[in-house]
Amino acid sequence: MNDATEHSDATPDFDGPTRSGFVALIGEPNAGKSTLTNHMVGAKVSIVTHKVQTTRARIRGVAIEGASQIVFVDTPGLFNPKRRLDRAMVAAAWGGASDADVIVLLIEAHRGITDGVKNILKRLNDIGEHRKIALAINKIDRVEAPVLLALTKDMNERYNFVDTFLISAEKGHGCDALRAWLAKELPEGPWLYPEDQIADLPVRMIAAEMTREKLTLRLHQELPYQLTVETEHWEERKDGSCRVDQLIYVMRDGHKGIVLGHRGDTIKAVSKASREELEEFLGRKVHLFLQVKVRPNWLEESERYSEMGLDFRDGN
């Protein structure tokens, strides 16, 4: 993770050594990686919906545990890619894993060892045993204890994890133990980010992700993966508020009608929900303006990938 810059004034004084490093959360789509990131950080920095494949960029959330600064890399879910965007997302996920100091494989207790999990385990073997790789079994409240114990045993027989954690990212069960373990496993060194920074994403991108999440929730199965949101303009106002102009790109004219909704009901609801969440996040008044544009080939435009924190070339 060589794109992080050290800040000489970032690390507060501690009696003992400070630690910092990157933790990559990997797993299948919808395994709970974004929910876990947000719980660990204590703020919403990653898009969380019931839809799979909603995390496109490697969103970093920064958590403090004692003298350790843990930088979480919330990667896109690992799946069998078919489109350019899918391939770029999977490449970003494995890129985040290969660069991290610690990797946590997150699986769902009630789904068990799926074909997707088996494929991830094969890839982990290729990364090498010198990596610190832990297992976190999520959504433990959905299964009985015997099933959970059997799954834990089976997974550890398939791969030599350094430790295993049974958690519920949504309810917070087991998350404190995981965070404490991560804190002591990171290498000694100065903190990478200022103490009050919770994410290294530009606020413009966080704002765009918030709007995209609201669209995903509102549109359900209709076209969540065929649209993207960009923050086109950000204006700071003298009264302390800000004006935010965002573009929603869709692929067809029919999609534009779906996003707008009957008499503009859908876009109004999305705008209201996104504005309210952004105001809570920033702690001030926000004037949000959304515009929908048809851009048939946005999935093949390199600048769209840059906006999402993905490498266009990885989609080849």
Query: What's the pLDDT tens digit per position in 265-309?
Result: 999 999 999 999 889 888 889 999 999 999 887 666 666 556 555
d(CA 56, CA 208): 12
Instruction: Determine which of 186-195, 219-228, 278-287 has the lowest per-residue pLDDT on average.
Output: 219-228
Average pLDDT, the chain: 80
Task: Please give the pLDDT value at position 1.
Answer: 42
pLDDT tier at 27, thresholds 50, 70, 90: confident
- Structural domains in the chain? 19-185 (3.40.50.300), 203-315 (3.30.300.20)
* Burial of 125: CB neighbours in 10 Å, binned 0-12, 13-18, 19+: exposed
Query: Which segment, 18-32, 51-65, 170-184, is predicted with the most confidence on average?
Result: 170-184
Residues in the chain: 316
Q: Which residue has the tokens 């765009």?
A: 208
d(CA 84, CA 60): 23
pLDDT tier at 8, thresholds 50, 70, 90: very low
pLDDT higher than threshold 80 for residue 91: no
pLDDT tier at 227, thresholds 50, 70, 90: confident
Query: Which segment, 15-24, 61-70, 152-161, is predicted with the most confidence on average?
Result: 152-161
What mean pLDDT do residues 307-312 have? 57
Instruction: Give 143-146's long-range contacts (Cβ < 8 A, gap of 24+).
Output: 143/109, 143/110
What mean pLDDT do residues 116-126 have? 84
**Residue-wise pLDDT tens digits, 39-54:** 898 876 655 444 444 4
What mean pLDDT do residues 224-251 have? 87
- Give the percent of the chain with pLDDT over 70: 71
pLDDT higher than threshold 50 for residue 237: yes
Task: Please give the pLDDT value at position 303.
Answer: 65
d(CA 62, CA 103): 15
- The more confident residue out of 4 and 83 is 83
Q: Which residues fall within 8 angstroms of residue 289, CB to CB, at 6 or more apart?
A: 243, 244, 245, 246, 271
Residue 281 · residue 274 · CB < 8 Å: no
pLDDT higher than threshold 60 for residue 93: no
How far is C-alpha 316 from the chain's CA centre?
A: 23
Task: Please give the pLDDT value at position 97.
Answer: 65
Q: Which two tokens stand for residue 178?
A: 């995981």
DSSP lists the bridge partners of residue 248 as 229, 292
d(CA 18, CA 67): 5
**Residue-wise pLDDT tens digits, 96-118:** 566 788 989 999 999 999 998 99
Query: Helix/strand/coil (H, E, C) string of 155-170?
Result: HHHHCCCCCEEECECC
pTM: 0.61
Task: Please give the pLDDT value at position 270.
Answer: 95
Task: Please give the pLDDT value at position 299.
Answer: 65
pLDDT tier at 252, thresholds 50, 70, 90: confident
- Give the percent of the chain with pLDDT over 90: 37
| 3-class secondary-structure state, position 89 | helix
pLDDT higher than threshold 80 for residue 232: yes
What mean pLDDT do residues 149-169 have? 96
pLDDT higher than threshold 80 for residue 184: yes
| 3-class secondary-structure state, position 21 | strand
Cα-Cα-Cα-Cα dihedral sign, residues 243, 249, 255, 257: positive
